[in-house]
Amino acid sequence: MTGKRLELPGYLLLAVFGVIAPLVFPAYVQQIAMLWIMIVFALTWDTMGGQMGYNSLGNIFFFGAGMYIAAVCQIWPWYDVGEYTDPSGSLTTSFTTDQYFLGLALGVVLAAIGSVVLAALFGLIVFGLRGPYFAIGTLGMAIAAGELIGAWDWIGGGGGIRLPVFPSGTDAEPLFRVPFGDIQSADLQGVFFYWTCFVLAVLTFLFLRWLYRTRFGLMLNAIRDDETKAEALGVRTQLYKTVAWSISAFFLGISGALFGNIIGFMEPLEVAFPTVTFGIFMVLMALLGGKGTLWGPVIGATLFHIIKEVTWTHLLGWQWVVLGLLIVVTVVFFQQGIVGWLQERRPEWFGIEVDRGTAGQRADAEAAEALEAALDDAGGPAREPVR
């Protein structure tokens, strides 16, 4: 199976690129860190949209929720959050290295847990919806969250929150010096978050790779193909949907916590709950690469991110036109995506068997023969036909 054989070079390529990229392209560390986050976006969207057939337009909600939860956790142990975020306030703040990393660790953990809790709660509401109603319902959820946070002054309202500044010239520095030689302390933040994003993407990928090979993965696909049939077989569909969404939320929550700290500032509409940019990108990337596959979202996110960065740099002013065209072309002409297209052209690469022989009438005759043969093996009919 060539598909399997392509996988190993794929892992090696990504691992090697991931490790040497910050050394070879030091100027692009933040862009490449963003690539890992985009891959997490596409992978987690696909768990619901591709594997389970529930197209959410509101997954960005967990990204924003994670971002805000982390910010509060980073501030609240040391300062009053309301005072800290007060735009007219004269509070001067500084975080020691210990305070910074402790807060960040707490923030990442609670962002993950909090997002899972939110997924379980909102799942109760939106999983009653199917098809386009589910898509719109989840979108509404993300938009409403942005508006609500914007009206909540304690966490900065529409004005947002500045995050604690990454410690400079500190005890943490030697830790980075070892693998990176002589590193400027101004770059420390970039390198630190580069590695956390890379590790997050790798963990997300490996976790989903495992998940899709379990019974759980099979049931996600069953729900996608025919939810009514799955229920008729006794599947606790609501539980599966909730757990699948919680898994997406877990990794998205962490990605939000990291992203907020990379940017250093968050506000509800553009940064935390950007439904029309990241919220749509995650869908597009999964579709482009091939929804319902493990590698599709990775390939789609990589390609999309490159196109996006290039157009942003070289076609400024036209970047939205290019992205719009990409969306239209993908959705209209290329719904199966890159991996899906490959699966169709080269099913044998993926271990998919295709019947090249019989169809219709002939297939039925063949099936009847197979039935007869199997019956002989089974030792004849249970009873002689009556009458």
Write down the H helix ranges in 127-214: 131-150, 173-180, 185-211
Please tell me whether residue 87 binds another protein under the rule CB under 8 A.
no
- DSSP string for residues in 361-376: HHHHHHHHHHHHHHHH
- Token digits for 58? 């509101």
Q: How far is CA 206 from the centre of its chain?
A: 13
Q: Which is nearer to another protein, 317 or 381 (CB)?
A: 381
Supply the DSSP symbol for 384. Answer: P
Q: Measure the CA angle with vertex 138, ends 214 and 246; round to 5°.
A: 30
d(CA 333, CA 216): 31
Q: Which is nearer to another protein, 9 or 360 (CB)?
A: 360
**Nearest distance from residue 282's CB to another protein, in Å?**
22
Q: Which of 48, 243, 284, 338 binds another protein (CB under 8 A)?
A: 243
Q: Which of 122, 240, 259, 278 binds another protein (CB under 8 A)?
A: 240
**Nearest distance from residue 112's CB to another protein, in Å?**
18
Tell me the site size for another protein, rule CB under 8 A.
52
Footprint (CB under 8 A) of another protein, residues 175-214: 211, 213-214
- Which region among 128-136, 153-161, 307-315, 347-355 touches another protein (by CB under 8 A)? 347-355
Q: Which of 228, 316, 317, 345 binds another protein (CB under 8 A)?
A: 228
Closest by CA position to 285, among listed 313, 306, 262, 254:
306
**Nearest distance from residue 245's CB to another protein, in Å?**
14
d(CA 223, CA 235): 9
Please tell me whether residue 215 binds another protein under the rule CB under 8 A.
yes
**Nearest distance from residue 96's CB to another protein, in Å?**
41
Please tell me whether residue 219 binds another protein under the rule CB under 8 A.
yes
Please tell me whether residue 99 binds another protein under the rule CB under 8 A.
no
Q: Interface mask (CB under 8 A) for another protein, residues 300-339, using x and -?
A: ----------------------------------------
Beta bridge partners of 266: 161
Closest by CA position to 284, among listed 66, 59, 33, 119:
59
**Nearest distance from residue 128's CB to another protein, in Å?**
13
Footprint (CB under 8 A) of another protein, residues 359-378: 359-361, 363-365, 367-375, 377-378
Q: Please, which residues have CB within 8 angstroms of residue 246's CB and are 6 or more apart in sequence? A: 116, 119, 120, 123
d(CA 74, CA 137): 31
Please tell me whether residue 124 binds another protein under the rule CB under 8 A.
no
Please tell me whether residue 383 binds another protein under the rule CB under 8 A.
yes
**Nearest distance from residue 292's CB to another protein, in Å?**
8
Q: Measure the CA angle with vertex 351, ends 332 and 374; round to 5°.
A: 115
User: Which DSSP helix (H) or strand (E) runs through 266?
Assistant: strand 265-266
Q: Which of 147, 171, 225, 348 binds another protein (CB under 8 A)?
A: 225
- Tokens 């947002």 belong to 160
Phi-psi bin for 379: left (phi > 0), alpha (psi -120 to 50), beta? left
Residues interacting with another protein, by CB under 8 A? 211, 213-216, 218-219, 221-222, 224-226, 228-237, 239-240, 243, 352-355, 359-361, 363-365, 367-375, 377-378, 381-383, 385-387
